[in-house]
Amino acid sequence: MTTLGVNIDHVATLRQARRTTEPDPVTAAALAELGGADGITVHLREDRRHIQERDLLLLRQTVQTHLNLEMAAVPSMVDLALQVKPDYITLVPERREEVTTEGGLDAVAQQDYLTQVVATLQGAGIPVSLFIDAQPAQIKAAAALGAQFIELHTGPYAGASTESLRREQLQILEQACVLAQAQGVRVNAGHGLTYKNVRPVTELPAVEELNIGHSIISRAVFVGLERAVREMKQAIKLD
Ligand code: PXP
């Protein structure tokens, strides 16, 4: 069964728009869990544009499901992660000027450095996932450097402008899943997934958890977070 990790970054985005105390992502996490979230995901960015350290510390104490920390593979974040000990970590590339994460990590180019980071984190008992593009070389590099999980970047699938391009991207994801399985790496997926496009991704072999943020938080503005999460759980449920 595919599980749902709800990314609550944009609740903090709204709070930071006024640099005030509401809405609180800690409350959001509790409501998401009431709606059926299987996990809570936050991205603590270097520029602290949404989630703050305070949020991460409180979430570590209050999340009842599991906490997935998305972070850049930089020494300051590794230190913080070792203190906070989230349930798993997703390493992502980070560029200051981007609106959201734009592409996967380059596990091929950074293989030596990432090997050290992954060994440090997994050595402390925190499983690591690498957010990568669905390319064979990236999957093989992720496996070679010892990551327990990959998160396949579903952005190209979500952004496909025609049905045939969408099918093509789905096939690329499917082949990536098969390769990851053969390499002994567990698979998550995410980015750009919505109520409308999520279903085929749940039917891919091996995909364990989907990390979804923008679409759920957008819907929550109108229907409330608990209901928005429940509806996404419904959308990903296999009959
Ligand atoms: N996975 C990763 C690695 C991400 O960086 C993001 C965006 O923060 C997501 C999943 C969720 O993407 P979206 O907000 O488009 O659902």
Does the C-beta of 67 come closer than 6 Å to ligand 1? no
Say yes or no to pLDDT of 239 above 60: no
Q: Which of 131, 208, 211 to mutate to test the pocket of ligand 1 (most atoms within 8 A of CB)?
A: 211
What pTM did the predictor assign?
Answer: 0.96
State mean pLDDT over 226-239: 90
Return the pLDDT at 64.
98
What pLDDT, on a 0 to 100 scale, did the predictor assign at position 238? Answer: 60
Which domains are delineated in the chain? 3-236 (3.20.20.70)
Maximum separation of any 2 CA atoms in the chain, in Å: 48
Q: What pLDDT is attached to residue 38?
A: 98
pLDDT reading at 91 higher than 60: yes
How confident is the model at residue 102, as a pLDDT? 75
User: Is the pLDDT reported for residue 2 higher than 70?
Assistant: yes
Q: How far is the CA of 204 from the centre of ligand 1 (A)?
A: 18
Task: Please identify, by atom number, the ligand 1 atom nearest to the C-alpha of residue 212.
Answer: 16
Q: What is the pLDDT of residues 67-80, one digit of tens each?
A: 999 999 999 999 99
Cα separation, 176 vs 204, in Å, equals 10
CA of 116 to the centre of ligand 1 (A): 25
Atom of ligand 1 nearest to the CA of 217: 14
Q: Which residues, 6 or more positions from 211, have their beta carbon under 8 angstroms from its beta carbon? A: 5, 7, 41, 68, 90, 151, 188, 189, 190, 191
Residue nearest to atom 5 of ligand 1 (CA): 101
127-142 burial string, b = 16+ CB within 10 Å, else e? Answer: bbbbbbbbbeebbbbb
Pocket lining: 65 vs ligand 1, CB cutoff 6 Å: no
Give the confidence band of 154 by pLDDT, cuts at 50, 70, 90. Answer: very high
In the chain, what percentage of residues exceed pLDDT 70?
99
Encode pLDDT of 18-71 as tens digits.
999 999 999 999 999 999 999 999 999 999 999 999 999 999 999 999 999 999
